[in-house]
Amino acid sequence: MRTTHDEHATLPELEEEEQVLGTPSFEVLVHDGRALATGTYFMVPPLYMRKAQWSTEVPDQLVIIASDGSTWCADNVPRVGKANVVLRPATA
Amino acid sequence: MSAQKIPNKIWANSGDSHFVEPDDLFDNALPKALADRMPKSQKFEGYEIVTVDGLEFRRSMPKPGKDGQSMGDIVSQRAPGANNPELRLKDLDEEGIWAEVTFPSIGIWASSIQSRDLMDAGVKALNDWAHDYIMKASPRLVPTASLSLLDIDDAIREVERVAELGFRAAFLPTAPPKGQRPYNDIDTWDPLWTALEKNNMVLAFHIGTEPVDASKRTGVVFGGPGGAVLNYTYTTFGGQIATMQLITSGALDRHPNLRVLVSEGGATWGPFIGDRMNEGYRQHGIYVRPELSKPPKQFLYEQVYASFQHDESAVAAMQHMGWNNVMWGSDYPHLEGTYGHTQKTLHELFDDAPEAVRKRITVGAFNDLFPEVGPPPADEFI
């Protein structure tokens, strides 16, 4: 069995470029003020929406409780029409 | 503007998903002399040595960034159901996927096998594993059978064998292996199409599966700026070419009950390719052979199905261009798929579409091919 770098040096070599995952993101699709569905991109494990509510303290702030219990939010979310909103972790 | 109520959760079948086989599958299933010739990787610092069917290659290890994991490791870890049916069904329930066609992940090195005995033994072992591990786990999982195309008689025998096991689809690469005639060669391929039709098995192409020369870089046609998107988009075309080869050679004419699925390649290409074939068939009729009993596009519309993940225009291919066989697919657990955002994707695609269009693309087209999976849970509304 070949085990050293030198012994392998003469074999046909295949190049691989650096593989990079995309930018992690947790997003919610909002339609006329209703949080229809969330989606995570490049997050491990993925998060799912368990509850959505409008903030009682910050106008037009949407608050999402995720499947792992974490709280996420987005500001200036339109209540009319469709919007894809990127969420951010809510500060305590 | 949405014209109907939108369900909270959109259930869909997937015409394109994948299982990741265990590393020791062939060691456990094959005699040592054969198992030793199947694709194997030894990892060293910064590179790996891949051996397959007597060939040996040194390959620089992929650099995913900070933690040194391979992309395969990342896929398996981000989606534990990639190689575990129980965990997979939990993911499917959460994502809103009812049933799925699953393709193998054995990968690029399979096409480097040139020995008939090794390939034949390998696909049998792979299919037996898929039968025992995937098919038996749930009727919602529809594994595709792999075939050795190095010898058509071997492929036909395997079709007959796996049909007895209950397989309903056979996976073919979008181009035949080295040494075989192209898919429009009637004498070579018609016996296999006959066997698939006779056994009520769907001919399932998955894009990006053209055989590769193991001595060259894999999956990379374009380099330099834009290479990633160029290469990804380029993978789409093989399924279109295979489809055209089947139609123009008369395979679908001779086998009216044969159904073809082209997975992961989008869907809007169907109307476009259909139009181009019709134009060629009529305007270049003097050169056309064999003659067909119907225009080429009609065979495509009636016997070919196609799955897509995110493509915004795919819904229009059914809704506005009349191709009724457009099917959604998740590509679970792959990175270009919808895992983690399936519901958001389905809402983006279908909230403005008529209910009949949504149900046809998410459920109906799949159930044409695989009615045995049954209906998904009913829509739920607030």
- Contact at CB, B59 and A16, closer than 8 angstroms: yes
* pLDDT tens-place values along chain B, 382 residues long: 445 688 999 999 999 999 989 989 999 999 999 999 998 877 787 777 878 888 887 766 655 555 556 666 666 677 889 999 999 999 999 999 999 999 998 765 677 788 999 999 999 999 999 999 999 999 999 999 999 999 999 999 999 999 999 999 999 999 999 899 999 999 999 999 999 999 999 999 999 998 876 656 566 788 899 988 999 999 999 999 999 999 999 999 999 999 999 999 999 999 999 999 999 999 999 999 999 999 999 999 999 999 999 999 999 999 999 999 999 999 999 888 999 999 999 999 999 999 999 999 999 999 999 999 999 999 888 6
**Residue in the block written with tokens 């015409």:** B15
- Rounded CA separation A28/A38 (Å): 4
- Domain B12-22+82-373 of CATH type 3.40.50.720: no
Question: Which residue pairs from B88-94 have beta carbons closer than 8 angstroms and sit at least 24 positions apart in sequence?
Answer: B88/B141, B88/B332, B89/B137, B89/B138, B89/B140, B91/B332, B91/B339, B92/B140, B92/B332, B94/A48
B335 contacts on A by Cβ (under 8 Å) = 21-22, 42
Per-residue pLDDT, A1: 32
DSSP at B42: E
Q: Which of A14, A28, A44 sits opposite B217 (nearest CB)?
A: A14
Spell out the domain ranges in chain A. 22-89
Q: How far is CA B352 from each of CA A66, B30, B61, B93, B374, rounded to the nearest angstrom? A: 26, 52, 45, 24, 26
Kind and range of the H or E run holding B273: helix B269-283
Helix (H) or strand (E) holding B333: none
Residues of B in Cβ contact (< 8 Å) with A12: 57-58, 215
- Give me the helices (H) in B84-205, please: 85-95, 116-129, 152-165, 186-198
In single-letter form, the type of residue at position B74 comes to I
Cβ contacts of A64 within 8 Å, gap of 6 or more: A26, A28, A35, A38, A49, A51, A52, A71, A72, A73, A87
Residue with tokens 């265990």: B22
Q: Model's pTM, two decimal places?
A: 0.92
Please tell me which residue of chain A has the smallest CA distance to B349. A29
pLDDT band of residue A3 (cuts 50, 70, 90) is very low
Which residues on chain B are in Cβ contact (under 8 Å) with A8? 44, 47, 49, 58
Cβ–Cβ under 8 Å, residues B325 and B265: no
**Over the stretch B342-364, which tens digit does the pLDDT of each residue have?**
999 999 999 999 999 999 999 99
Q: How far apart are the first and last CA of chain B?
A: 19
pLDDT (tens digit per residue) in A11-36: 555 454 545 567 899 999 999 999 99
Work out the minimum CA distance from B363 to partner chain A, whole angstroms. Answer: 20
Question: Is the Cβ pair A18, B65 closer than 8 Å?
Answer: yes
3-state secondary structure of B4: coil
Tokens of B98: 């009812």
- State the average pLDDT for chain B: 91
